Structure 1
Amino acid sequence: MPLVTSKEMFKKAYEGKYAIGAFNVNNMEIIQGIVDAAKEEQAPLILQVSAGARKYAKHIYLMKLVEAAVEDSGLPICLHLDHGEDFEICKACIDGGFTSVMIDGSKLPFEENIALTKKVVDYAHERGVTVEGELGRLAGVEDAVKVSEREATYTDPDQAVEFVERTGVDSLAIAIGTSHGAYKFKGEPTLDFERLEKISKMLPGFPLVLHGASSVLPEFVAKCNQYGGKIQGAQGVPEEMLLKAGQMGVCKINIDTDLRLAMTASIREHLALHPGDFDPRQYLKPAREAIKNMVKHKIRNVLNCSGRL
């Protein structure tokens, strides 16, 4: 089975009122853990690659790993570029076999964002690739994306409609209160569901996307801290809020920080308990299992997409 685009995935997700997990990948063990979880849960799956991950692992290595995952699992997998910052990287990923790309022009003025996004859409659609745009800016840090709270802005519903109509994007990442990284809220966690409902009603049937949607699961934070970490005060998005968003037109939920925490917690624990180990397989195998179990939890309890193939 070849890689697929997100188009049919999102259509089913919107109609079924659930979301699809878009999990960031950096290496073989992360890909294996995610794919094994999706296969066991019979869930649709998006694997996404940031510019930083693409630079770290190299495009060709990631492509071959994802192709192996498709062949090994038999799953319909969408391979997506996360936070493409310019036309050139989107073009390289489209030409290099990705089936979906995100062009992030959210830092640009509205008209410039439209022009850049449309340029990517025109190139991608001619080649059968889907495109995600972004309107509004999330606070926080993820790879090269760094936005202060002062610079963050929520998505304007009226602008969202105009943006979608003028660019022809296939999905839209919106800002309603999530943020990148592990430190998402200083006070009581909250998402602007009133804004989400308005955007969804103004764009009926159109798939929306939430970035910065890791829940920063307490058990992984605690384990990281127990074995030498300093992740104090981290607070993610409550899982019940993400589940609700998936019933309101959000068809794609990005998950990265939770993967990093699950893997790091497992490796730190193993090396603390087995300080004599120096074979990477000894600590990467349980780390892969930790990712798998975390992803299965997300698929069942947050995304509600188990058994949706």
Structure 2
Amino acid sequence: MIVSPKIFYENCYGKYAIPAINIFTLEQVFGLFSAGQKANAPFIVQMTPVARNYTHPEMLLGMIKAASRVYPKATFAIHLDHGNEAHALDAIASNHFNSVMIDASHDPFKTNVKRTRSVVIEAHKKNVMVEAELGVLSGVEDDLSVEEKSARYTEPSEVEEFVKETQCDSLAVAVGTSHGAYKFSGGQGIQFHILKEIQNRIPNFPIVLHGGSAVNATEIRRINEHGGQLKTNAKGVPPGDIIEAIKYGVCKINIATDLRLIWARVHREFFIDTPDQFDPIIPGKTYMEECEQFIIEKFDLLGATGKASELKL
């Protein structure tokens, strides 16, 4: 069942969070929907412009529709992640998305407001929610790279004006996380004093945490043991920090890197350990199962398990 993120956020605020999973492949889609139905948990399936270009939007949407029929009790929203105006407007016009993100966070404040507002006007005509971003995250997100020195935290003093002027429906903030597998390289972690002040200024407004992957050290080690060369100091968001962030209005937590690491580990181990094999179905099936288990555990961590049937629609 497709549900607007607005419903998700009204139900979860301050109590639990909704995982927003970036998908690229069939295995990820089916692992996600299977996990959602088994856990009776609401989730957001999201795709970046790069993902849409990789397989074509109709292919991705076709897989999502098929998965919703195979797993009819799955409760989800469909979201465009990190789009510009053209990406967002195309998603809105398709009538398949109930949420889009316009990322103008690298622009000056007034330009960000102007660009975000232009998307909000068109989105709200079709009851599509808009996620905006204020502040700049470091790291890598598909083809977007931001140097650590260029990253800046969200200014709490700007959030009230930004939300009022843009009329956005949720706000992604920069509070210490980063995109990719190299999070918290400076060791600072989430800046909870910033989150608290943001919540005080825009109470009950849904906050989004990008760069929410955990980056399990065991996954890094196993990948490197099978020919990988990932940096061993890669760090993610500790589970305790994720749980704490929910108290401060974080309703949506984006997860992408963790699924990529699992993909790399499963396939590296398969081809190194069984060099005589070449059938993609074998590691593919394993990856689907691993995705499902990982996402079920994430539902548990975020407190979303069992909440789909409790939603007040």
1:290 and 2:286 aligned: no
Contact 2:81–2:100, Cα closer than 8 Å, also in 1: yes
Alpha-carbon displacement from aligned partner over 1:183-223 (angstroms, at most 9, x marks no partner): 11224352110110110121111100000111101221121
Q: Which amino acid aligns with 2:274?
A: H
Alignment check: 8 A CA contact 2:37 2:75 kept: no
Matched, 1:195 2:217: no
Distance 2:208 2:68 in 1: 24
- Confirm whether residue 72 of structure 1 aligns to residue 75 of structure 2: no
Preserved CA contact (<8 Å) 1:130 1:170: yes
Partner of 1:162: 161
Aligned position for 2:256: 256
Q: How far, CA to CA, are the matches of 1:47 and 1:116 in structure 2?
A: 24
Give the corresponding residue for 2:311.
Answer: none
> What is the root-mean-square deviation of aligned Cα atoms in Å?
1.1
Q: Distance in 2 between matches of 1:123 and 1:76?
A: 26
Deviation at 1:285, TM superposition (A): 0.5
Separation in 2, partners of 1:64, 1:255: 22
CA contact (8 A) 1:262 1:294 kept: no
Partner of 1:267: 267
Report if the CA contact (8 A) 2:45-2:77 is conserved.
yes
Superposition misfits of 4+ residues, deviation over 3 angstroms: none
**Matched residue type, 2:267:** I
**Which stretch has the larger CA shift, 284-293 or 168-177?**
284-293
8 A Cα contact 2:36 2:75, kept in partner: no
Q: Any conservation in 2 of the 1:43–1:307 contact (CA below 8 Å)? A: yes
The 5 A counterparts of 1:137-216 are: 137-216=136-215
Give the Cα–Cα distance (whole angstroms) in 2 for the partners of residues 197 and 128 of structure 1: 30
TM-score for the superposition, normalised by structure 2: 0.95
Deviation digits for residues 232-287 of structure 1 (CA, Å, limit 9, x no counterpart): 22111111101111122000000000010011111111112211111110111101
Q: Which moved more, 1:219-228 or 1:163-172?
A: 219-228
Shifted more, 271-280 versus 160-169: the winner is: 271-280
- Alpha-carbon distance in 2 for matches of 1:262, 1:243: 23
Q: What does 1:1-309 align with in structure 2 at a 5 Å threshold?
A: 1=1, 3-15=2-14, 17-74=15-72, 75-85=74-84, 87-96=85-94, 97-232=96-231, 233-301=233-301, 303-309=302-308
Q: SS state of the match for residue 150, structure 1?
A: helix
The answer (yes or no) to whether the contact 1:189–1:237 under 8 Å persists in 2 is: no
Point out the more displaced range, 129-138 or 37-46. 37-46
Q: Across the two proteins, how many residue pairs are aligned to each other?
A: 305
Change (3 A) 1:136 1:236: same
Amino acid at match of 1:280: P
* Contact 1:84-1:102 at 8 Å conserved across structures: yes
Instruction: Name the CA distance, whole Å, in 2 between partners of 1:45 and 1:69.
Output: 13
Consecutive unaligned residues in structure 1, runs of 5 or more: none
Aligned-pair CA distance for 1:45: 0.7
